[in-house]
Each structure stands twice: as structure tokens, then as C-alpha cells.
Amino acid sequence: MAISSLGLVELVLLAINNRFTIANIAAATFGLLLILIFEGQRYKNEIKNQQRINLLRRESERDDLTGLLNYRALSQEIKALTQNRSIHNIVIGGLDIDHFKKINDTYGHFVGNEVLNHFSTVLCNRIHTAFPNHGYVYRFGGEEFSIVVSNHSIKEVYSVLQLIEEEMAGQPITTKEGITVFISFSASLTNHLNGEQLDDTLKWADKMLYSVKNSGRGWIVTDHHTSVKKVHRIDR
């Protein structure tokens, strides 16, 4: 724009100095057109480069297999939620498909991938439906998943996970090879405390989850830590 303005100024100066000949007008106009063309192309290239950068950023936040968001996206989402004054509660859940290694060892990794995709699809659909604009699903790798639900209580999230557990128990997955696989999962739910680091919340949820796995699997454990101040977890 600045360069274009200088071109217009040059045309005005030619007129003031009575040098407003056809040749001068043509030269100045041609030069101005060239500037506009080059600047327009440069602007388009900048837009395309920014779009590529945004696409790469989005791809870096997605799990290749399931298409779910990953830990990087979770970290950014928690940061955004904690800075949003309209958010008054954040529930974080850790989920783990029960005996997934046995599924892989028995049927192979292709069946394992189908199980992961089926589980992530059901989980994602149910969480998004139950908590529109407030529920998010992430995959950390392997059979480990996480959910984040804002402005809803642990009790509400617990009820939804129970319904998902019942649905999966009653509707096993049938693979492309015709293999029927029943899926269950273990889960933990906790509040993300104000002032608490995300990693600390996740470690707490993970510790709770492994206590479930060591006690028989297939059930959901919750705690009810809530605070408006920074609180240190006990027994970490």
C-alpha cells in the first residue's frame, strides 16, 4: 500500500509540474500496475504459507490412527480453559482399554487398530453429544485416552462413562475378518485444580487409573477434589 501511494503521489507531482504527458502517464501507470501485481502475488504467497503452517500445526496435534487430538492439543486446551473466566470447573479423565495387549497378541495389530478406532469413535461421539462445546477427547498413544469436560461435574461425566461402558458391553465390535471382540475400559476422573500444572493433574489421574487396573479393571474411580485455590495433591 505504501509503494502504491508513492506511485499515486508521483502522478500528482507530474501534473503539478506540467509534465503530465502521455508518455509520462503511461510510464507511471505501468510502473504502478507492476507494483500492484507483484504486491498482490506476494500477499497471496504469504496467505498460502500461513495456511500451510496452520495445516502442519493442526496435523501435529492429531493422532495418526484415530484422528483424535493428542497431548500437545490437550495442553493448549487446558491453558485456554484456565484463562477463560466463564469456565468454572474442569474435569479430566484417564481411560484405558482393558486387556488390550491380549487383543493384539490374540488377533494381531490390525484387529487391535480396529478396536482402537471403534473405541475412539464411540467415546468421541458420546462425549461430544453429552457435553457439546465442553467435551474433548484425546489419545496419548497405545490404548490410553483422556477426556476433558468443562462446566460439568464429575458426577455427570461419570454417568456418561457408565452409559458408554454399558453400550460397549452390549454391542461388541465385529472386525472386517468377522471376529467378535468385546471391549471394556477402566477410567479415572478428577478435577483440574486452579493453579495446578497439567502434568500434575494427569499424573494424579494416571495413578488413580492404575489403582483400578490393579484391582480388577472394568470400573470407574473418581475423586472430588475441588478448590478455588492452589491445592497440593496428597499421596502422590
Percent of the chain clearing pLDDT 90 (strictly above): 39
Pair type for strands 90-97 and 144-150: antiparallel
Q: What digits encode the pLDDT tens for the residues 99-124? A: 999 999 999 999 999 999 999 999 99
Q: What digits encode the pLDDT tens for the residues 147-190? A: 999 999 999 999 999 999 999 988 899 998 899 999 999 999 99
Q: What are the E-state strand segments in the chain?
A: 90-97, 135-141, 144-150, 173-174, 180-181, 185-191, 220-222
Distance CA 69, CA 136 (A): 8
Same domain for 164 and 115: yes
Distance CA 109, CA 97 (A): 15
Domain span holding position 82: 71-222
Same domain for 80 and 51: no
- Answer with the one of 60, 81, 96 that is the final residue of a domain: 60
Same domain for 131 and 102: yes
